[in-house]
Amino acid sequence: MQRDFFTIFRMPLTQKKSVLTRFLLWKTKHIAPQNFVYILSVLVGLIAGLGAVILKNTTHFIQHLMEGKVVGEYHHAFYFLFPIIGLSITFLIKKYVIRRDFGHGIPTTLRAIAKKKGIMKRYSMFSALLTAPFTVGFGGSVGLEGPTVSTAAAISSNISRLFHTNQSTRTLLISCASTGAIACIFKAPIAAIIFAIEVFSLDLTLSSLLPLLLSSISGVLLSYFFYGADTILPFELVGRFALYQVPFFIVFGILTALTSIYFTKVYAFFHDFFDSIQSPIKRLLLGGLGLGVIVFFVPPLYGEGFDVINNMVTGNYMDTVSNNFLHLEISNEWVVVGLLFGLVLFKIIASALTFGAGGIGGIFSPSLYMGSVLGFGFARLVNTFHVIRYELSESNFALIGMAGVLGGVLQAPLTAIFLIAELTGGYKLFIPLMITVAICFAITKYFLPYSVYSMELARKGDLITHDKDQAVLTLMNMESLIETKFVPVNPEMNLGEIVHKAVVKSNRNIFPVIDKSDNSLQGVILLDDIRPVMFNQDLYEEMTAADVMQNAPAVIDLDEDRMSDVMQKFQDSSAWNLPVISENKYVGFISKSKLLTAYRRKLITFTQQ
């Protein structure tokens, strides 16, 4: 079944190969390379927007069918069953339809850019489209932005491969796809461009700016075509910035930073916990049942949660807190504030359980959810205490909270500021947004060097940043630098054997000393070490390799060391060749000259646009 599915998918490309070849020849003669990039940026922007529309509408249809019809007309207990049903469907699709395990959206895209030259598998073009609606529609407490971006990025990557673009253009078009997706979802074209720059570490140059603009415009226009002027947050800002509010923005910035750190720590804890469970069935049952219990007792945590976000920014909090399982009296302000802060605490737990159980989604929406509830609850608490003469705008603080937590969790402060500014249709909140997000980002960055997106990649040394030197090192493939044409010797070999079996047969001046029993590296012999005695035949039987070998100045561990570590070891040791091991077994050598040559070539490729 798998072969038939993928054969059907690839068939049109095979049948039209000659047509494609003729088009590529025509394109080479008649369309300048940069102009063709502009055309592709519009194309991927439209495709990204279309993917966002399909994913959103499919998910909302399932959610309306389940939550509206079944729960409303039958029984509240279905809240407990829906999440595990949706996660089970997701598991079955991954196992029997896709037949591959695939990661979550944006981190997977970042890894493809860093380690696979921007090449993404074909199944990534539809894997999230098939799974994310069931995860979220049946109650998975995650968002759709990550799956939308990964789908668009995979389509863009394969379009780039189809037209034989180079690596830098492929990376640019992947960023264009993410721009088009975010622009379509939020109708926020500027924030979408900044998102690509901050999250994908794209250099903003004149050659990359226009493609990003074109893809962003394409995504926004497609959103207007399908949804008209409707926005994801139908809200118009009221009230203006006042100087007396600054202390509250400072305090709230600290609070959003603590929330962002809490979000990241809880996410990382559950990620590591579920990774330690080998059986996917056990992960599914444990995560699904845990999520079902939480959603049963706290229904506002069901799905993406944009209805709750809208309730916060419009001040309609009663619909959110009235449906509490303790049947608390919501006329009490302390109860309202307590319930709101409870939603903040449990949202990330519900999201982490969804991911741990194998669900497909993103963390963009949970960040907005927690920020909106936190902001509303904070303003409500201040107003309840009557700390100041004037009341704080709870709706405004809900919006500011969204920007604060989003900027802290994603570590993308400009994206958060411009997203909320564009969603509110103006810049009246610009100063409060800047104060809160700046404080939140600074504190979060101090305690957490990496965002949720980049945390796992950074652990493995696969993270690309705006630091060009570090980015180039990340893009380099260490295995391609390993040389194996070195003649090994073992510790028991005498000097005569070393001369006749190694020195005579090798054109290198270094010899690894390898233990025959386990292929472990014992040391190295330099030609300079044996040159004074190699012609003294009286010593041929007396001296062994163990007598003349020395420890390597440094050893490269293929499983542990990153390219930056390799560079540092060459710098510290001043060696020209260093041995490489993997699982404590000898693999080969990396030479400084080959390393620097590869670095120079990668730097040229990386900086070309």
What is the tens place of the pLDDT at every residue in 210-247? 999 999 999 999 999 998 877 777 676 666 788 888 99
For 243-462, the fitting CATH number among 1.10.3080.10, 3.40.30.10, 1.10.287.1080, 1.10.274.100 is 1.10.3080.10
DSSP alpha helices (H): ranges in 448-562?
A: 452-460, 468-475, 495-498, 527-530, 545-548
Please tell me the predicted confidence (pLDDT) of residue 517.
82
2-227 under CATH 1.10.3080.10, yes or no: yes
Please tell me the predicted confidence (pLDDT) of residue 505.
83
- Domain 472-607 is classified in which CATH homologous superfamily? CBS-domain (3.10.580.10)
Please tell me the predicted confidence (pLDDT) of residue 291.
94
* pTM of the full structure: 0.78
pLDDT band at 508 (very low <50, low <70, confident <90, very high): confident
pLDDT band at 9 (very low <50, low <70, confident <90, very high): very low
Please tell me the predicted confidence (pLDDT) of residue 69.
57
Phi, psi of 578 (to 5 degrees): -125, 140
Give the start-to-end residue ranges of the domains of the chain.
2-227, 243-462, 472-607
User: Do 243-462 and 472-607 agree at the fold level?
Assistant: no
Sheet containing strand 556-557, edge to edge, reads 556-557, 577-582, 585-591
- Report the distance separating Cα 133 and Cα 437, nearest Å: 31
63-88 tens-digit pLDDT: 888 766 555 555 567 778 889 999 99
Residue 526, Ramachandran bin (φ over 0: left; ψ between -120 and 50: alpha; else beta): beta
Phi, psi of 589 (to 5 degrees): -130, 155
Which of 149, 151, 210 is CA-nearest to residue 183?
A: 149
How many CA atoms within 13 Å lie on the side-chain side of 144? 32
Does the pLDDT of residue 582 top 80, yes or no? yes
Does the pLDDT of residue 527 top 90, yes or no? no
More confident call, 68 vs 288: 288
